């Protein structure tokens, strides 16, 4: 187990390093200096401004000092929002993004699992078909179609939730639901397929033959095995949630990191964009790692492969 | 698939059913007994440090906290602010302002020195303020800003704690207008010295205006609360303001409609007519003539566009009636001259004769001009049009492309985020660009000054005509208002004749304001300070 | 988006077995596919959409960028506009057809890019095996954990929104899963007798990969490609929604939908029709993909 973890960790660290490096040089390769804000600055002034952002040194030195800064949690000042540092912006936006992401993950897992199990137990019955129909819809209706429709009904017409902005947990209900929908669809499909496979397997047949009650068979034995594909899906699910959060935060005007990233990218706020990128990359890598660990606990075969 | 349709139908049905009787709006928490204003501010300030800002959305925040020599009255006209009285020397080049006894929000007195400090900080080359050129009429401002003279050479001096003297390069009849502008705010020297660039942090910021900074969370809101040390605090009705960066005006419209916001400072132009319908929210819609012009600018450094005939052809063939009447249609008017009607001390000039022709004739003339310049069916003119991604620009760009296609020009559209688009204009990374200008102060020079050769970056097309420059310089030194206006009008005629810019439309300012908010006066400058606003039944 | 990847990764195992059963399987598979009503209906619908996207734009009276100065925001069935017009007076039908064409083109071309990279990479790794395989697949593992959408966004904003760039960027994101599937297939295929025989007869490695391995990978690759296309279409529409899609006046389904969503109270048809076409297209691809998979590997039924 320890060696397995160590090996995974040894992949994770270079990955993160790769992300930072790629992002750094991509930003520097981008056309246009961030300081071409105004009329041509006199050379001595430009030097002053560049020195302020540490951009007067050779690229290699800048890269090393950026890495050193990142290691200390210092991502530099935001090029665009001059009153704030990247770290402050990330700190302000991250809790919101994390809250909606985690809530959506939990919601999607619970609902997806339930639907998947129900569908598997009633395979080829109308319940199964409805669940799979919903699953197909969930994948095929993009969040930016679902979100405006849901907002129109539940915010504008019924007034149960606000149409946008962040004022208490009630503001997060719609965003979380919209974010969870496609994941519910995928998770329910995965669970259904896993359950069906397990329910037809020999050891379940044995368990049934031993005279164990149906609930015991389903919940104690089948579900445990069926959960494995779900756990291995955790990493991609989080990537999907982060991607989705870009859209959802924009639609519902939530002060999250996803919105900062898109706006920062459009406005070429390079330091901000890199900070967010590094944070998200570490998050995804950490989640993958956690998923692998969980998988290793649930399914001993993984450790050996 | 049947299920898909079923679900769509169900959602539609639910929407129909739910159309009646929504719940009460969910608003930001407001301390018990306080009057709170939820204010849609249009965009996110890049900074709350005045010399680092250029936007109206930034001044809508800063201007609630900082007050200059003059300030806006409810109609956006200058009235005494920090200065209670002033005198001008006979040649108009020396102004003496007498300041009131007032305090910063931390209890430190506001002095004339805070004004001198603010001006020097603006002109300091290391601040790299984009707006410094606006005050180049102050003595030595230009060389100081270029780093050729020390900061102390600037024509601003504190005679004593409450007397400020400004020395000018030339008379500036619009000085009292500019004195309320964000470039001329006093800055708390004690706080800036103590905190450096981070003096704008909540907790560090000190204010001399009606409100002070409580918090600022990016993408969420800026919260201001009443400043009890403001000299006129007793007449301020609203206790707390939350300002939201409502980039998406349609989303903001939904929030105002639901009562989550009390007002938003913009409306999508093409939705104004719809919102004014009796079954929508007619009582909320405010529109008013605005001192602003949107125009096309031709980069004269691009070889094809160095030819006046080409520029003129592009200018003539734009169907402005369609753009203002069918696309924007919030009351914008077609623009054929650069200085908007209603500008003080000025009569709009007579536009060129072709502006009276019907579109077909203009298109024929444009084709002829292009042919003279060497372009035609076998060898079409190809240009790139750079524009911002704002909804209005996105609407106008394809219309321009179609208009130019009609005279045989092939146009590529290149959209950019708004501020990047302007940055591209400033560094001349464009061929034909979309630009607009809102008056900084109510005077024709606020518009014509843009096209002076020494303006630099914001003279996007690098227009340079010595005759034009000379006329503007003559106007600057002309004491007689009538003669001055005549010089400026002549200059505008020359500039339009050279066709380096093509005016497209004159703006209207638009706002969505809940009728329960009182004190909102529609006006030419679009300044509506919160200290004049109140909520019905609050006080 | 990688949302469709996991179930396929799981399925790649079963596909290996399916592909291993030999040629006669294809006839069975075809029969099974044509018995699947959802898949057949989807194929018909998609065929119609494809036809409409290819020839439709030549048949509409208006070009997609024709501005009708008197027909701004016309509801459907007025002034000869079957589906109405948009805020610039452009015919929605004409724009919808072009948008469908662009979205399908992006879907197909980007999938093709991912196919080429993924198949080459996976087949090479699987065939060569050993340390090379380990290294190549570790690289894929590393890329798997990257937040790719962020890199695509960075690419779009720093190097401009080029039609080609969208293809490339998306294609480069989508090849990872493909390479994994192909590698798994190759690993099992290369044990087979005919590969041994080819090797014994002195064929070069490259020839073996090209002539024997790749053709035998066709089944699972086709299934995965069919399911990648809707993913790509969704990804493009997602970029459009964030304001980084194709440049006006050209359009795509995603751009049409995101513009339509803005004006849904004023001109609902601008949201309804593009959304409908989009959802139907995505569903059709998914049904066909599922159908193909079931046809090749009937175990789950």
Domain ranges of chain B: 1-65+209-284+514-539, 67-194, 289-509
Percent of chain A surpassing pLDDT 90? 11
Q: Tell me the C-alpha to C-alpha distance, in Å, between residue C129 and each of A95, B113, C132, C135, C218.
A: 45, 77, 6, 10, 20
Whole-number Å distance between alpha carbons of B455 and B136: 10
Confidence of residue A259 (pLDDT cuts 50, 70, 90): confident
Question: In chain A, where does the domain assigned CATH 1.10.3720.10 lie?
Answer: 92-304
Query: pLDDT at residue A5 above 60?
Result: yes
Query: pLDDT at residue B204 above 90?
Result: yes
How is domain B67-194 classified at the CATH fold level? Answer: Dipeptide-binding Protein; domain 1 (3.90.76)
pLDDT at res. A72: 83
A112 in Cβ contact with A132 (< 8 Å): no
Query: pLDDT at residue B214 above 90?
Result: yes
* Mean pLDDT, range A192-220, rounded to an integer: 79
* Mean pLDDT, range B385-399, rounded to an integer: 91
C88 in Cβ contact with B329 (< 8 Å): no
Query: pLDDT at residue B154 above 50?
Result: yes
Confidence of residue B13 (pLDDT cuts 50, 70, 90): low
Give the distance from residue A233's alpha carbon to the nearest chain B alpha carbon, in angstroms: 26
pLDDT at res. B387: 93
Whole-number Å distance between alpha carbons of A27 and C58: 42
Using the beta-carbon criterion (under 8 Å), do A142 and C5 form an inter-chain contact?
no
Query: pLDDT at residue C161 above 70?
Result: no
Cross-strand bridge partners of residue B505: B294, B334
pLDDT at res. B415: 87
Using the beta-carbon criterion (under 8 Å), do C238 and A281 form an inter-chain contact?
no
Residue that wins the pLDDT comparison between C211 and C23: C211
pLDDT at res. C6: 37
C17 touches chain B (CB under 8 A): no
Give the distance from residue C145's alpha carbon to the nearest chain A alpha carbon, in angstroms: 6
pLDDT at res. C3: 35
Of B194-208, B389-403, C143-157, which gets the smallest average pLDDT? C143-157
Rg over alpha carbons for chain B, rounded to the nearest Å, is 25
Q: How many CA atoms lie within 13 A of B33 on its CB side?
A: 0
Average pLDDT taken over every residue of chain B: 90
pLDDT at res. C72: 85
Whole-number Å distance between alpha carbons of A240 and A253: 20
Contacts of C30 (CB under 8 A, 6+ apart): C295
Domain A92-304: assigned CATH number: 1.10.3720.10
A266 in Cβ contact with C161 (< 8 Å): no
Q: Is B28 helix (H, G, I), strand (E, B) or coil?
A: coil
pLDDT at res. B22: 60
pLDDT at res. C257: 92
Using the beta-carbon criterion (under 8 Å), do A145 and C275 form an inter-chain contact?
yes
* Mean pLDDT, range A42-71, rounded to an integer: 73
Q: How far is CA B359 from the centre of its chain?
A: 31
Which of B270, B272, B330, B421 is the best substitution to test chain C (most C C-beta atoms within 10 A)? B270
B218 touches chain A (CB under 8 A): yes
Whole-number Å distance between alpha carbons of B349 and A236: 64
Percent of chain B surpassing pLDDT 90? 72
Whole-number Å distance between alpha carbons of A146 and A149: 5
C65 in Cβ contact with C57 (< 8 Å): no
User: Which tens digits make up the pLDDT trace of A138-197?
Assistant: 888 888 889 999 998 998 888 899 988 888 889 999 999 999 999 998 888 888 888 888
* Mean pLDDT, range C39-63, rounded to an integer: 90
Query: pLDDT at residue B456 above 80?
Result: no
pLDDT at res. C135: 84
pLDDT at res. A42: 56
B250 touches chain A (CB under 8 A): no
Confidence of residue C15 (pLDDT cuts 50, 70, 90): very low
A223 touches chain B (CB under 8 A): no
B420 touches chain A (CB under 8 A): yes
* Mean pLDDT, range C131-135, rounded to an integer: 84
Contacts of B360 (CB under 8 A, 6+ apart): none
A197 in Cβ contact with A190 (< 8 Å): no
Binding-face residues of A in 142-181 toward C, CB within 8 A: 142, 144-145, 148, 152
* Mean pLDDT, range C59-76, rounded to an integer: 86
C241 in Cβ contact with C254 (< 8 Å): yes
B101 in Cβ contact with B84 (< 8 Å): no
pLDDT at res. C301: 37
User: What burial class does residue A215 get, using C-beta atoms within 10 Å of its C-beta: 0-12 exposed, 13-18 middle, 19+ buried?
Assistant: exposed
pTM: 0.88
pLDDT at res. C218: 76
CATH superfamily of C48-64+78-300: MetI-like (1.10.3720.10)
* CATH of the domain spanning B289-509, picked from 3.30.70.2740, 3.10.105.10, 2.60.40.1120, 3.40.190.150: 3.10.105.10
Using the beta-carbon criterion (under 8 Å), do A82 and B19 form an inter-chain contact?
no
* Mean pLDDT, range B374-379, rounded to an integer: 89
Query: pLDDT at residue C4 above 70?
Result: no
ipTM of the complex: 0.86
Cross-strand bridge partners of residue B415: B387
* Mean pLDDT, range B336-354, rounded to an integer: 90
Residue that wins the pLDDT comparison between B159 and C176: B159
Of A14-23, A114-123, B528-537, C72-81, which gets the smallest average pLDDT? A14-23
HEC states along B284-306? Answer: HEEEEEEEEEEEEEECCCCHHHH
Give the distance from residue C64's alpha carbon to the nearest chain A alpha carbon, in angstroms: 23
Give the distance from residue C207's alpha carbon to the nearest chain B alpha carbon, in angstroms: 45
Residue that wins the pLDDT comparison between A60 and B58: B58
- Enter the tokens of residue C216: 């035998």
Nearest by CB to A157, from B19, B419, B429: name it.
B19
Residue that wins the pLDDT comparison between B486 and C150: B486
Nearest by CB to C248, from B1, B4, B397: name it.
B397
Confidence of residue C12 (pLDDT cuts 50, 70, 90): very low
Task: Return the closest-CA partner of residue C94 out of C139, C46, C127, C55.
Answer: C55
* CATH of the domain spanning B1-65+209-284+514-539, picked from 3.40.50.300, 3.30.70.100, 1.10.10.60, 3.40.190.10: 3.40.190.10
Evaluate whether B1-65+209-284+514-539 and B67-194 have a shared fold: no
How many H-runs (helices) and E-runs (strands) does chain C carry? 13, 0
> Where do we find the tokens 């974010």?
A179
Query: pLDDT at residue A264 above 50?
Result: yes
User: How many other C-beta atoms can be found within 10 angstroms of the C-beta atom of residue A141?
Assistant: 23
Query: pLDDT at residue B341 above 80?
Result: yes
Query: pLDDT at residue C21 above 60?
Result: no
Cross-strand bridge partners of residue B512: B264, B285
Residue that wins the pLDDT comparison between C86 and A25: C86
Nearest by CB to C2, from A11, A236, A280: name it.
A236
Contacts of C216 (CB under 8 A, 6+ apart): C19, C185, C189
Binding-face residues of B in 301-320 toward C, CB within 8 A: 319
Residues constituting chain C: 301
Question: Residue A264 — left, alpha, or beta (φ > 0 → left; ψ -120 to 50 → alpha)?
Answer: alpha
> Where do we find the tokens 């990764």?
C9
Confidence of residue C16 (pLDDT cuts 50, 70, 90): very low
Q: Tell me the C-alpha to C-alpha distance, in Å, between residue A270 and each of A233, B219, C18, C211.
A: 32, 17, 49, 47
Q: Which residues of B141-159 are buried (b: 16+ CB within 10 A; e: fewer)?
A: bbebbebeeebeebbbbbe
Contacts of B9 (CB under 8 A, 6+ apart): none
């Amino acid at each position: 187990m320890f060696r397995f973890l160590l090996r995974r960790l040894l992949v994770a660290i270079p990955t993160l390093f790769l992300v930072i490096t790629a992002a750094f040089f991509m930003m520097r390769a981008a056309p246009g200096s961030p300081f071409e804000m105004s009329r041509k600055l006199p050379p001595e002034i430009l030097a002053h401004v560049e020195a302020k952002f540490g951009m007067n040194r050779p690229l290699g030195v800048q890269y090393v000092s950026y890495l050193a800064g990142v290691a200390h949690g210092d991502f530099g000042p935001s090029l665009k929002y001059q009153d704030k540092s990247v770290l402050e912006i990330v700190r302000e936006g991250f809790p919101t993004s994390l809250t909606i992401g985690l809530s959506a993950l939990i919601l999607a897992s619970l609902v997806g699992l339930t639907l998947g199990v129900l569908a598997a137990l009633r395979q080829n019955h109308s319940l199964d078909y409805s669940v799979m129909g919903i699953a197909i819809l969930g994948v095929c209706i993009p969040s930016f179609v679902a979100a405006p429709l849901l907002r129109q009904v539940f915010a504008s017409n019924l007034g149960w939730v606000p149409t946008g902005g962040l004022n208490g947990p009630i503001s997060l209900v719609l965003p979380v639901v919209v974010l969870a929908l496609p994941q519910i669809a995928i998770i329910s499909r995965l669970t259904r397929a896993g359950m069906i496979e397990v329910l037809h397997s020999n050891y379940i047949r044995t368990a049934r033959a031993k005279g164990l009650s149906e609930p015991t068979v389903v919940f104690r034995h089948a579900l445990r095995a069926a959960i494995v594909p779900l756990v291995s899906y955790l990493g991609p699910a989080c990537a999907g949630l982060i991607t989705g959060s870009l859209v959802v935060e924009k639609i519902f005007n939530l002060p999250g990191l996803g919105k900062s990233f898109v706006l920062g990218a459009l406005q070429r706020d390079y330091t901000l964009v890199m900070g967010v990128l590094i944070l998200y990359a570490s998050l995804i890598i950490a989640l993958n790692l956690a998923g692998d660990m969980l998988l290793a606990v649930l399914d001993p075969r993984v450790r050996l492969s | 698939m049947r299920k898909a349709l079923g679900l769509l139908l169900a959602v539609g049905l639910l929407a129909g059913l739910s159309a009646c009787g929504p719940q009460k709006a969910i608003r930001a928490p407001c301390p018990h007994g306080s009057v709170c204003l939820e204010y849609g501010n249009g965009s996110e300030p890049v900074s709350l440090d005045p010399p680092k800002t250029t936007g109206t959305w930034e001044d809508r925040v800063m201007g609630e906290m900082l007050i200059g020599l003059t300030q806006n009255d409810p109609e956006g006209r200058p009235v005494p602010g920090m200065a209670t009285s002033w005198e001008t020397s006979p040649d108009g080049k020396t102004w003496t302002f007498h300041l009131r006894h007032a305090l910063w929000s931390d209890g430190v007195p506001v002095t004339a020195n805070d004004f001198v400090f603010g001006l020097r900080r603006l002109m300091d080359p290391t601040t790299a303020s984009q707006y410094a050129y606006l005050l180049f009429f102050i003595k030595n401002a230009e060389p100081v800003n270029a780093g050729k003279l020390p900061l102390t050479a600037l024509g601003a001096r504190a005679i004593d704690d409450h007397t400020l003297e400004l020395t000018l390069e030339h008379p500036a009849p619009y000085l009292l207008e500019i004195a309320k502008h964000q470039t001329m705010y006093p800055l708390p020297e004690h706080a800036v010295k103590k905190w450096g660039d981070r003096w704008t942090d909540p907790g560090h910021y000190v204010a001399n205006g009606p409100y002070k900074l409580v918090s600022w969370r990016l993408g969420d809101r800026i919260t201001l609360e009443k400043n009890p040390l403001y000299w006129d605090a007793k007449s301020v009705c609203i206790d707390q303001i939350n300002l939201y960066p409502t980039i998406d005006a349609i989303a903001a419209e939904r929030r105002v409609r639901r009562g989550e916001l009390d007002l938003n400072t913009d409306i999508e132009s093409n939705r104004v007519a719809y919102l004014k319908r009796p079954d929508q929210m007619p009582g909320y819609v405010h529109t008013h003539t605005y001192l602003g012009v949107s125009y096309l600018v031709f980069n004269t450094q691009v070889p094809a566009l160095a030819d006046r005939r080409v520029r003129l052809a592009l200018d003539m063939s734009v169907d402005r009636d369609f753009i203002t009447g069918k696309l924007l249609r919030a009351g914008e008017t077609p623009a054929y001259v650069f200085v908007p009607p209603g500008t003080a001390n000025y009569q709009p000039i007579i536009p060129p004769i072709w502006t009276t022709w019907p579109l077909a004739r203009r298109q024929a003339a444009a084709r002829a001009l292009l042919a003279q310049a060497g372009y035609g069916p076998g060898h079409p003119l190809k240009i790139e049009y750079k524009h911002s991604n704002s909804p209005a620009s996105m609407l106008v760009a394809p219309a321009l492309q179609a208009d130019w296609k009609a005279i045989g020009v092939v146009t590529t559209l290149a959209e950019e985020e708004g501020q990047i688009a302007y940055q591209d204009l400033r560094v001349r990374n464009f061929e034909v660009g979309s630009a607009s200008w809102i008056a900084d102060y109510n005077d024709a020079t606020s518009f014509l000054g843009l096209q002076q050769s020494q303006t630099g970056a914001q003279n996007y097309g690098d227009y340079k005509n010595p005759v034009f420059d000379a006329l503007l310089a003559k106007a600057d030194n002309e004491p007689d208002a009538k003669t001055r206006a005549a010089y400026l009008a002549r200059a505008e005629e020359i500039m339009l004749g050279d066709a380096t810019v093509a005016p497209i439309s004159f703006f209207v300012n638009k706002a969505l304001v809940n009728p329960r908010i009182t004190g909102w006066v529609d006006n030419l400058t679009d300044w509506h300070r919160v200290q004049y606003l109140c909520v019905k039944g609050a006080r | 988006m990688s949302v469709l990847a996991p179930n396929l990764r799981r399925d790649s195992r079963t596909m290996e077995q399916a592909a291993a059963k030999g040629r006669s399987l294809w006839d069975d598979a075809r029969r099974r596919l044509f018995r699947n009503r959802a898949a057949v209906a989807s194929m018909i619908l998609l065929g119609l959409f494809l036809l409409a996207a290819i020839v439709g734009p030549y048949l509409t009276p208006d070009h997609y960028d024709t501005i009708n100065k008197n027909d701004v925001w016309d509801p459907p069935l007025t002034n000869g506009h079957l589906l109405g017009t948009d805020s610039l007076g452009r015919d929605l039908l004409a724009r919808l057809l072009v948008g469908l064409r662009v979205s399908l083109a992006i879907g197909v071309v980007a999938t093709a890019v991912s196919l080429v990279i993924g198949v080459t990479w996976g087949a090479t790794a699987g065939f060569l095996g050993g340390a090379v395989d380990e290294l190549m697949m570790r690289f894929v593992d590393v890329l798997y954990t990257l937040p790719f959408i962020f890199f695509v966004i960075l690419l779009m904003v720093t190097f401009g929104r080029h039609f080609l760039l969208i293809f490339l960027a998306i294609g480069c994101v989508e090849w990872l899963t493909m390479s994994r599937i192909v590698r798994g297939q190759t690993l099992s295929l290369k044990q087979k007798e005919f590969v041994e025989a080819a090797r014994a007869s002195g064929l070069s490695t490259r020839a073996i990969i090209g002539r024997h391995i790749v053709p035998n990978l066709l089944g699972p690759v086709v299934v995965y490609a069919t399911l990648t296309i809707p993913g790509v279409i969704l990804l493009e529409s997602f970029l459009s929604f964030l304001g980084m899609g194709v440049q006006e006046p050209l359009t795509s389904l995603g751009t049409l939908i995101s513009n339509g969503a803005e004006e849904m109270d004023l001109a609902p048809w601008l949201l309804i029709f593009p959304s409908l076409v989009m959802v139907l297209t995505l569903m059709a691809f998914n049904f066909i993909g599922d159908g193909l998979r079931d046809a090749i590997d009937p175990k789950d039924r």
